[in-house]
Amino acid sequence: MKVIKAKDYNDMSKKAAQIIAAQITLKPDSVLGFATGSSPVGTYQELARKNQAGEIDFSNITTVNLDEYRGLPQEHEQSYINFMNTNLFDHVNIDKANTYLPNGMAEDPEAECARYEALIQELGGIDLQLLGIGHNGHIGFNEPSDRFEKATYCVSLTERTIEANKRFFDSADDVPRQAYTMGIGTIMAAKKIVVVVSGEDKADAVKKCIEGPITPSVQGSILHLHPDVTFICDEAAYSKLK
């Protein structure tokens, strides 16, 4: 596990974008796994800037996202597909037909999970997966549990995650209770993983993931077992590491 200390959020974002840009340059038809939330927004801005400056080309890139709320239509402001369009896809020369997320409105959740998992396999797997971490150490929506899930599944969100995500909705009551998420097995099969973390409120989660034992009660701790993981932490998120 590599840990890179960044000065602040901006520096963290630039460093992450540099790694993703290198991936795109070395393999222009990469399959990139993307995340939503506050952590990667600056990374997406920097990738869009690089694309507009002609430094990187998204025309042959395919993307798959980690997760999507269950029950939010695509047009909903807080759907993750809308997040990806607004924060990245609308600003780069990607073919949107090659951008994939779970379908939050699918009628049959089990079939949707199987479809999404099969799609990732058909694409040949993920070359680089970008992750954020939740305060409880979750990655994707893999919440603290007594086991690690292998493949894409439909999950009930914890109160802590609902509380953390209510900032994007009118109230906690409006936060969907379920989401589709890649399983830990799906994430761990990515060839390369980059984790962006910022802020003091994430310092405990970072410490548990990087220095703690591997346990499903801190799902991000599994990353220890991956051969190519880079954490990019700003100073505050890094502050509790030995």
Interface residues with ligand F6R (CB under 6 A)? 35-39, 66-67, 132-134, 138-141
Closest distance to ligand F6R from the beta carbon of 180 (Å): 11
Residues 76 and 40: beta-carbon distance below 8 Å: no
| Annotated catalytic residue 67 | yes
| Sheet (strand 2-6) strand order | 2-6, 229-234, 192-197, 128-131, 31-34, 62-65, 99-100
Select 23 or 181, whichever has its Cβ closest to ligand F6R: 181
Closest distance to ligand F6R from the beta carbon of 166 (Å): 12
Q: Which of 112, 117, 138, 149 is catalytic?
A: 138
Which helix (DSSP H) or strand (DSSP E) does residue 194 occupy? strand 192-197
Closest distance to ligand F6R from the beta carbon of 155 (Å): 11
Closest distance to ligand F6R from the beta carbon of 38 (Å): 4
Select 134 or 183, whichever has its Cβ closest to ligand F6R: 134
- Closest by Cα among 189, 182, 187, 80 to 141: 182
Q: Which of 46, 51, 65, 67 is catalytic?
A: 67
Please give the Cα distance from 159 to 150 (Å, whole number): 23
| Annotated catalytic residue 95 | no
Sign (positive/negative) of CA torsion 147, 149, 153, 155? positive
Select 104 or 140, whichever has its Cβ closest to ligand F6R: 140
Q: Residue 239 corresponds to which amino acid?
A: S
| Annotated catalytic residue 138 | yes
> Any idea which residues carry the catalytic annotation?
67, 136, 138, 143
